[in-house]
Structure 1
C-alpha cells in the first residue's frame, strides 16, 4: 500500500466487508450464516484527527524521540507487539482481537502533503484526492456507485453524529452522488441515552448538503444483547448498530463519530495541546467500544 490516496481509491472500488464480533451474541442463526455480501462495514471517525505515532509507537525509530521530546511514549508505556512496535496502553481492550488474529493495523495511509488548511485537507481525506486534485464525490459515494449489491430500497447508510468538520458541506466521505443517509443526532447524548429506543427513527437525507431531510421511521430491533456497551453516545451508537444488524435492518455501511461527550473537541482526538491528558482516555473509549 503506497499511500492514503491509493488506499481510499482501492477501498471505493472494492466491496469492503467487515463484521462486528458482537453480532454472534445477538443474531439469529440465519443472520450469522449470511454471505460476505451481507456483512456490515462500520466506520469510526476519530474527529479532529488521531495521533498515529502515539497510537502505534515506532519504538526503534530515534527520530520519534528526537521530534517528540515531551510526548513520546517509552517502551515500558506501550504494549509490545514486536521488538519494533508498541501499542498505546489505552488500547488494552483490543488485545484479545489482536491475539485472535481479528485486528489489523494499517500504516502509511496518511496524507503525504498537507496544505495546513483544515477544510482543504479534510476534503482530500474524504474524497481520496491528491493535493492537486478535486473530486466532487466522496470515496464511500464511489464505493456505493461501483457495488450494486449494496443497494437498498430506502437507505444506504446510517450516520451517528458528524460526518465532516465543514458545515457548508457536511457529508464527508458520502459527499456528491446520491447516497441516502439516515442521520442520527449525537449532539444530545444524555437525552439520547434516556430513550428506550435510541434507534427508533432517523433523518433521511442525501449527500446534497442543503437538501431538506425527511424523517424515516424504524421499528425497534428489540433483540436481547448479552454484550455490554459503554454508557455514552459512542456505546449507544454501537449498541443501536448491533441491534439493527441482528434484526436484519442495518444498511451495508454505518458511520459513527467518536468525539468528546461535553462538546469540547480538545477532550477527544484533537491533540493540539495537553495531549498526554486527553489522548489516552479517547483511545480507551475507542477500544472499549
Structure 2
C-alpha cells in the first residue's frame, strides 16, 4: 500500500492521520548539538496558491513597480514604511510591533533556478527542497529530523499539521494531521476502542497496526487540560489554526514536545480582482502571527519558536487585464520569533530586468532558508537537509 492509502484509511477511521510513521529501514544519523536546540519549535506557514510578493513587501519608490501595476499597485501614502525604499502592505500593520522589536525578518527575492509555475509541482519542489528536475519522496523538515533531531528526543510526534491534510515538508515523518488538539484526542479515543484483526504474517497489515498504535500514542501525548489563553485569537479558519497551534505547544509543557507545526492560509491565487482578496488574506496572516506571538509569549515559548512563511511561487511583475496577477517567480518571505534578528535580508527583485517570460529573477535560493534552519536552529548539517551547499543566512541570533 502507498503512503497516501495509509493517510486516507486512518483519516476516516479516527478523524486524524499519522503520516508515514516509522518507515521500515529508517536509518538515523546522529549529529551532536546544544541540548537547548532540542526544545525549539518551527512553525511553517504556507501561503497557499502563490502569494504576490510585490504587493506584500512594496518597493514604493520604484517607478517601474507603478508602471507595471498602474491599478493594483499599493500607493506610496498607503504603505507602512520600513525604510526609505521598502514598505509593507497596509493590512500587515499588526506585524509592525514585531518589526519594531527586531523580531521580524524579511528575506527578499526568494526563488530557485528554472522555476516551475505549476501549483502542484512547484509546492512539491519547496516542500522537498528538490531541484526543478528531480523528484524526492521525503520532506526537507523530515531530513532535518533524520539528521539527528529525532534521534535525541522521544518526541510526542515529529510534527503536527493544522489546516491541511498533505504531509508536505514532513513527508516521511511521524506527523499528525488535525484541526485542533481537543478533537484529535477525542476522535482517537474511538480508534483506541476498536478491535482489529491480528497482523499475523501479513506485513502490510502489521504496518497498519503499527501506524494505528502510533496514532493512539500521539493522541495520549497531546492529551491535557485546555489552556485558557488571555490572547484574543482572530476569527476564521486561520485564527482557529493559530489557536490550535498554541494549544499544541501548551499541551507539551514538560514533555519532549513537537518540533514542527504547520499552518495553511489561502488561496493566494489572485488571477482577478486581486486588491480586496489579497488585503483580506494579508490581514488574516498579520493578525494570526501577532496572536501566535502573544499566545506563545504567555507560555514562555516565543523565544524558542521560529515562524517561517513559504509559498509555491510569487506572482508576475505586471498586472493582468483582470486587475490580478498570474503565476510568477520570486517573492519575499517572513521569519519571526524571539531569536530572530530582525531586518531585511537579500536583494529585492530588479523590476527593470525581467526574464524572457517577464518574470523577476531570484537573488536568494529558498534552500538558503532551510540551510539556516538546519545549521542555526536545529544544529544539524545543512547538507543533510538541502542536499547541496547553500549559504545560510544570518537572521537567527542563536
TM-score scaled by length of structure 2: 0.52
CA RMSD of aligned residues (A): 2.8
Does 1:258 find its partner at 2:265? Answer: yes
Does 1:184 find its partner at 2:182? Answer: no
Compute the displacement of 1:160 (Å). 0.5
Compute the displacement of 1:116 (Å). 3.0
Compute the displacement of 1:50 (Å). 1.0
Structure exhibiting the larger radius of gyration computed from Cα positions: 2
**Change in CA separation of 1:202 and 1:112 when aligned onto 2, cut-off 3 Å:** farther
- Secondary structure (helix, strand or coil) at the match of 1:46 reads strand
Which residue in 2 is equivalent to 1:286? 285
Which residue in 1 is equivalent to 2:185? 200
Which one of the candidate residues 233, 238, 243 is aligned to 1:234?
A: 238
Which residue in 2 is equivalent to 1:97? 98
Structure 1, residues 115-156: CA drift from partner, whole Å, max 9, x if none? Answer: 333322222121122223332322111111113257435511
Which ranges of structure 1 fall in alignment gaps of 5 or more residues? 1-13, 16-33, 164-169, 186-191, 205-210, 260-267
- The ranges of structure 1 where at least 4 consecutive aligned residues each deviate by more than 4 angstroms after the TM superposition are 201-204
Q: How does 1:242-253 map to 2 (within 5 A)?
A: 242-247=246-251, 248=253, 250-253=257-260
Compute the displacement of 1:96 (Å). 0.6
TM-score scaled by length of structure 1: 0.69
- 2: distance between equivalents of 1:244 and 1:118? 29
Does 1:220 find its partner at 2:224? Answer: yes
- Secondary structure (helix, strand or coil) at the match of 2:232 reads coil
Which residue in 2 is equivalent to 1:47? 48
Q: How does 1:10-21 map to 2 (within 5 A)?
A: none
Which residue in 2 is equivalent to 1:173? 169
Which ranges of structure 2 fall in alignment gaps of 5 or more residues? 1-30, 192-206, 289-398
**Change in CA separation of 1:198 and 1:287 when aligned onto 2, cut-off 3 Å:** farther
- Secondary structure (helix, strand or coil) at the match of 1:200 reads helix
Does 1:66 find its partner at 2:67? Answer: yes
Tell which has more relative contact order, 1 or 2 (C-alpha 8 A, sep 6+). Answer: 2
- 2: distance between equivalents of 1:55 and 1:101? 19
- Secondary structure (helix, strand or coil) at the match of 2:258 reads coil
- 2: distance between equivalents of 1:201 and 1:68? 50
Does 1:157 find its partner at 2:159? Answer: yes
- Secondary structure (helix, strand or coil) at the match of 1:82 reads coil
Equivalent pair of 1:200/1:220 in contact (CA under 8 Å): no
Compute the displacement of 1:54 (Å). 0.5
